[in-house]
Every structure is written in C-alpha cells, then in structure tokens.
Amino acid sequence: MLLPHIFLISVFFLWSLFHLSVIHLNTILTNADSFAYLQMSYFLKNWLLEWFWTGWFGFLYSACVAFWNLFVENDFFAWQIINLILFNIGGVILFFIGKRYLNIHYNIVLILIYFLSSALLNYNINILSENLFIPLFLLLFLFLQRIWENSNFFNALMIGIICAFLYFTRSESFIYILSLGIIGLIFLKRKLLLWKEFIKYSMTIILSFFIIIAPYVYYLHTITWEWGLTNKGSSNIRQAMMRGTEKMDDEGFEKAVGELSSDNHHLIAGFVWWLKYDKPSENYSISNFLLQDKKSTLKRFLTNQKKLYSQTLPKMLLGDILKLYKDPWFIFYDNFLILIIIFIPLVFFILGWLNLLFKKNSLFMPIFLSLFLVWSIFFTLFFVLERYFIIFLPLMFLIMIYWAQEFLTSFEKFEVGKYIASLWIFVFVYYMGILFFSQNLNNSKYEVKKVAGEWIQENIKGLGKKDPSELKIMERFPIMTYYAGTKERWLTPYTSKISNLIEYAQYNKIDLLVVDSLDFKTYRKDLSVLLNKDIKYQNLEFVKMLTLNWEKVLIYKFNY
C-alpha cells in the first residue's frame, strides 16, 4: 500500500507545479468581487477595520490574503500562494472523505479529477471566496461523518467553529444550521445518537457558532441599526425581483442595487463599496418578498429549480462541452454518437447517486442531501448562479467515481476483467479532456483595462495628483482602478442621463471617468455614447484613448 500513497504525494507535488504553470491564464484582474477582496486585505493588513467591514463580502478569505501579504509585497502574488495552499488542503480533505467509499486507486483518480477540473481551476486562478469556501465545506462534511463514527464534544465543537468560518467567508452559510438539524434527526432515527447526546451536541454546535459570530453580528447592527446576519438581504431580494424568473444577468444585479430606494440614493452615496447604509424607502423584508405575491414566488422557485437541475448542475459536470459540440469548427460537429458519449459522466453521476442513496450503513447521501437540498431551496427562492453550487462539485466527482468503481470492479471475476477494469483510465482521460476543451480561460479582452490603469498610474502628476491613493476613478468594473494603484472603488451608476452621472461625480468628488467598449455597450447602453471621444459634455474633458485586442478604453477628467 506504500506505492499508491507515494503516488498520491506525487500528485499533490505535480499539481502544485501545474498550478504555477497555469497562473498565466489569469494575470489580469477580471472580477469586481476580486477587487473587493484585495481591497479588504489591504485595509485588514493595515488594521483599518472600519474601511472594509460593510457586511457585503465575507472577510475571512481576505484575511488569508492579508496574512500572506505581510510576507509578499505583491498582493496579486499573495492570493496566488493562498489559492494554491487552499486548493491542496481541499484535495487532502476530499481524499479522507473518499477513503470511506473508494479503494486507494479510485481515490487517487478522484483527487486527479479534483485537481485537473477546469471548472474548479477557473475559480482557483481567480480571487474569489470559493477558494476558501470549498475546503471549509469539505471539512464540514468530513466532521459530520466523524461525529457519526465518534460522537464526542470535540467533533461537535469543530462543526460549530467550521460553520462560523463558513459564515465569515459567505454570510449565506448560516442556512447550514438548518441542515445540521436535519442530519441530527436522521442520526436519531437510525439510533446513532440518543436524545441526550442530540441535545448536548446540538447546543454545543449552536452556542459555539453564535458566540464566535456575535462580535461581527453586533458590528453589522452598528452600521444598519437592525439585527441580522447579513447586510445584503435587501439587495438580494431586490435583485431577485428585477432579474425576473428567467434572465439572470449582471445588468439585473446592478439595477437591483442601484434602485434599492425610491429616492435614487445610488446617485448620491455610491454603489456597494463605500456605500453608507441607507435604509430603503420600500419594505423589502423576506416575509413580504415571499408571501406578498405567492404566485410569483412559486413561479420563480419552480423556474429556478428547473434551471438548477437542467442547466447549472449538468454544466458543472460537463463544462461547456455542448457549446463546443455545436460549434461547426468542432471535428465531431453534430455527431449523435459523440453526443451520447459526452453524457457518460452525467450518467455515471446519476447512477452513483442512486447507488449511494440506497446503500445501507452509509450516511454519505443523507448528509449530502441535507446540505444540498437546504442550500438549493434557499437560493432558488431568489436566483441561481453556478458559484453558489460549485462547492458541491468535489462531492459530485466522488459520486461519479464511486459508480465507476462499482461498475468496473464487477468485471474482475472474469478472465478479461483486468482489461475491462482498466477502462477507468480511459474514463478519467476522456472526462478531463471534455472539461479542458470546453472551458474558456482566455482573458486577453481585459488586457486593455490593465494597460489603461497602468497609464493612469504613470501619468498621475499630469492628472493633478501626487499619489494614486488620492485619485478617485469611476468605472463599471474596478479593474483599471486596481492597476492605477488606488484602493477606492467608485462604480459608474446605473443611469440613463449624463447629467445624473456628472451630478454623482461632483457630489463624491470623482476625478476620472473610465469608459470601455467591453462593458458599456452591454451594461451601460445609455452611457455608451461616451465611447465617441468627439462628443462634448460640460464638466467632462477627454484625456486619453487606448485600444488593444479589438477593445478600447476612454479616459475622461471631471472639471467642476
């Protein structure tokens, strides 16, 4: 048994080298949330807590980046290090979960798929909280299995602590307290716990969770003057209302937050970041949202459930292979046999799911379903995004490999069994192939934004400032803001009037407006006229235009 473990260690080592080799796939900041996490890490490193705890983003991931930033000056490199460490930790935890269901050879295949999954890789090379959320979620799953095997105070305490850490990473994680209650009742029914133990361990989990999060909850109260576990409840409700039941896009999100109150406070106070709390004029409470129009709530829930099971989950397993399959340039374009083969991993997952569901003396599926169903019901009441469910993908890999193990080892009693059993190598290579070729990790279209930000930093004195930190840049995504060296995020408000835009900029003393062809044609259509540098507006002075990879950026200066 020594050889497989040596091979496993080699897998972790080779993965680390592979990770370092693919970092170049994301050398440009491309996500607005990434800027928020880097911004939080900057202020956290400098102990400026009042500037980053707004309640919108969990702070624990940024704390990890800030820690490494103490040793590594470049924060972009700091998060690459922390992502590498966190992903490896997730692989270790997944291996220990898999040991209960897979033999060593298939468990190694599971870890290989986890490490080489392009879906997970896409998050791992970005600055997103999923990089911390996934290993924490897997650790929760592991301890839920351990408390079944060894019910004691330590395991219960660890579950409460992990739930608190999950909450500090993504505030929605408080919903898992309900999942734990369901799992506890399952334990009682299967006589794995006595009522006395159930009450003792439940109180341990709940008390440890709330004691740890209590200071942060009190902080939220100081900025909202309401008691709650998150500061983005109203925006999520408004977002769900405005995105509708089918179209889920960024434009809907920005309209949602931009129109939280009827007095257009987004034109005065800003958007999300540096947004002082302004209680909405309308009452967007959970109860009103869900119960005021029961027909719309039911329609939204059923539509989101349909999207979850017909689009989101299959895409997580298969990537964008169906788009590739329908591409006329694809060598097997429109071949029905290839289409059937493409769905093999999905079939393996469904069969593995059914097999584990009816497997006696196993709590994998009860724990998995308790966590998944509560999570899925909660989010489908609002809207569905892949990033909310990516945490389940490693366990979905385990389910798929479990069926491959059950199916292929059943041939071992035959003379040709060893050859048939070797098919798992083919299955592994095939599966990784369809994921790799279906994933688009190209970010060259964002390169012009990086160049524009660096130009601003190099010409800071010509823009009337001594240091980039003094500069306020307004753009749709804070990419150029990051590369310009400023830490403040000012997002172009969602408005159809240039006069409102200038009013907003003047109130907040914005210095520069950055307009780009990538975002404004789609998400700021009414403001896309600013892509024409010859159009004149009072108080707005054209400064510079940069073009690269068929995209362009225009920089304007405000004169008040």
Q: For the chain, give me the number of helices (H) and strands (E)? A: 27, 5
Q: Are 256 and 239 in contact (CB under 8 A)?
A: yes
Q: Of 404, 438, 472, which residue sits at a domain end?
A: 438
Percentage of residues in the chain with pLDDT exceeding 90? 14
170-174, 235-239, 297-301: least confidently modelled range: 235-239
150-159, 216-225, 524-533: least confidently modelled range: 216-225
Q: Of 438, 469, 498, which residue sits at a domain end?
A: 438
Question: Would you say how long the chain is, in residues?
Answer: 560
Same domain, 398 and 454: no
Q: Residues 258-307: pLDDT tens digits? A: 544 333 444 344 333 333 334 444 445 666 666 677 787 888 888 889 88
209: pLDDT confidence band, cut at 50, 70 and 90? very high
Distance CA(239)–CA(257), nearest Å, equals 7
Q: Of 412, 438, 464, which residue sits at a domain end?
A: 438
Same domain, 392 and 452: no
| DSSP secondary structure of 93-131 | HHHHHHTTTS-HHHHHHHHHHHHH-HHHHHHHTS--THH
Q: Give the pairing type, strands 540-548 and 551-558.
A: antiparallel
Name residue 558's beta-bridge partners.
540
60-74, 170-184, 217-231, 500-514: least confidently modelled range: 217-231
Question: Residue 341 above 60 pLDDT?
Answer: yes
- Into how many domains does the chain fold? 2
Instruction: List the domain range (segments joined by +) for residue 474.
Output: 444-558
Same domain, 304 and 367: yes
Same domain, 478 and 410: no
The reported pLDDT for the residue numbered 285 is: 60
Same domain, 503 and 430: no
Q: Position 12: which residue type?
A: F
More confident residue, 389 or 59: 389
More confident residue, 320 or 504: 504
Q: Residues 401-414: pLDDT tens digits? A: 888 888 777 766 66
Q: What is the mean pLDDT of residues 123-127?
A: 82
Question: Residue 337 above 70 pLDDT?
Answer: no
Question: Residue 67 above 80 pLDDT?
Answer: yes
Same domain, 410 and 493: no
Same domain, 527 and 542: yes
The reported pLDDT for the residue numbered 157 is: 93
Within a domain: residue 453?
A: yes
Mean pLDDT of the chain: 76
Question: Residue 548 above 70 pLDDT?
Answer: yes
| DSSP secondary structure of 219-281 | HHHHHHSS--S-S-HHHHHHHHHHH-SS---HHHHHHHHHTSSTT-GGGTT-SSTT------S
Within a domain: residue 99?
A: no
Sign of CA dihedral 374, 113, 436, 76: positive
Q: What is the mean pLDDT of residues 532-540?
A: 82
Question: Residue 40 above 70 pLDDT?
Answer: yes
Within a domain: residue 520?
A: yes
Within a domain: residue 71?
A: no
Q: Residues 445-500: pLDDT tens digits? A: 788 888 888 898 888 887 777 777 788 898 888 888 888 888 777 878 777 778 87
End-to-end CA distance of the chain: 74
For residue 189 the two structure tokens come to 């029914």
